[in-house]
Amino acid sequence: MSWQIRPYELSDRPAILEISKRTWGGYDQLPSELDKLMANRNSYMFVMEFKDRVVAFANLKVIDEGKTGWMEFMRVHWRYRKRGFAWTMTQRLITEAQNLGVKRLRLSTTTENEATKRITDRIGMHRLLHMKLFWKGNFRRIRWKDVSVPNVLVSTDEAFVLLTDFPSLVPKGILVDYWHAYDLTKDSLESISENIRFWKGEKNGKDMALSFGYLRVFRGEPMWCSTIYAVGEHSFYSALSQQLQTAVEHEVRGVLCFHPVQYQVGHEIPGLKRNTFSSILVLYEKHPPFDTR
């Protein structure tokens, strides 16, 4: 056999960095995440060797207190694509998920990712959730502001109370954070990120929003990541304004934001109309039996 799949080793890092150079136009998140994945005891990282060369990578992360097998970071070297390697790696992750006894498989991607869509169809995964997203690199000061709905900082406990009292804020009780999706629990709120900050927006008991954001380092530069949940247009845009102004305060070079699909951002807000990548995140799910044929 000219190929094998084995656990990731630290010595594989240069090969993974090489693979990432031509992934997502050179803006691959994986290089920034490798160390965190290795430090997470619930991550199961695999590489494929083909003719003694590392040509693919994938990770299975167990989340939601052991319920979910999260499939992520499927990468194949550009010279070795369209050979079925991504499907073979997917089968390995599914086998690992079966061995671990997870109750469901999940993954997220964007609507543009046709390769992942083919795999989800082959597995028999169904679409569970949609969220819009936008990414703004080379972020600069933005003059636009919306303060029609006041936003105040709240604690994690207060954020959890708000989300449980108003379940319509978070569709299907699934919390989206930085390309991941978690069951809405207090533990998930506390664990989704270090140094996270929550804001509550409310006016007259009608317009309601909860947003959260935090700093990440991407390609050596600070980036502000946020998610906004809102019921009402005014509360959404005020929460968005709060996140953008906080990003300015932190002098970040990029902004990534996930938000409900019914609101427009990229072509509506001054300062975001140009060179802003917009897409839709799709969350897929599969319950047993996990067919690997």
CATH number, residue 82:
3.40.630.30
Burial group, residue 235, by CB count within 10 angstroms (0-12, 13-18, 19+) = buried
pLDDT, tens digit (0-9, with 9 covering 90-100), for 3-30? 899 999 999 999 999 999 888 777 788 9
For the ranges 27-36, 49-58, 202-211, the maximum mean pLDDT occurs at 49-58
pLDDT at position 76 over 70: yes
Return the pLDDT at 26.
76
Computed over every residue of the chain, the mean pLDDT equals 91
Identify whether 111 is part of a domain: no
- The answer to whether 148 and 29 are in contact (CB under 8 A) is no
Return the pLDDT at 77.
93
pLDDT, tens digit (0-9, with 9 covering 90-100), for 155-189? 999 999 999 899 889 999 999 999 999 999 988 88
Return the pLDDT at 291.
67
Considering the domain architecture, whether residues 81 and 138 belong to the same structural domain is answered as no
Structure tokens at 293: 């044929």
pLDDT tier at 2, thresholds 50, 70, 90 = confident
Considering the domain architecture, whether residues 85 and 172 belong to the same structural domain is answered as no
Please list the residues that pair with 108 across neighbouring strands.
283
Structure tokens at 54: 């590392």
pTM score above 0.85: yes
Total domains, the chain: 2
Q: Which residue has the higher pLDDT, 22 or 62?
A: 62
pLDDT at position 41 over 70: yes
pLDDT, tens digit (0-9, with 9 covering 90-100), for 82-98? 899 999 999 999 999 99
Considering the domain architecture, whether residues 152 and 21 belong to the same structural domain is answered as no
CA terminus-to-terminus distance, the chain: 19
Return the pLDDT at 7.
97
Q: For residue 29, give its domain range.
A: 3-102
Identify whether 127 is part of a domain: no
What residue has token string 């406990």? 157
pLDDT, tens digit (0-9, with 9 covering 90-100), for 236-259? 999 999 999 999 999 999 999 999
Neighbours of 135 (CB within 10 A): 18
Identify whether 36 is part of a domain: yes
Considering the domain architecture, whether residues 161 and 265 belong to the same structural domain is answered as yes
Considering the domain architecture, whether residues 84 and 174 belong to the same structural domain is answered as no
Considering the domain architecture, whether residues 150 and 259 belong to the same structural domain is answered as yes
Return the pLDDT at 266.
65
pLDDT at position 141 over 90: no
Return the pLDDT at 265.
83
Does residue 205 sit in helix, strand or coil?
Answer: coil
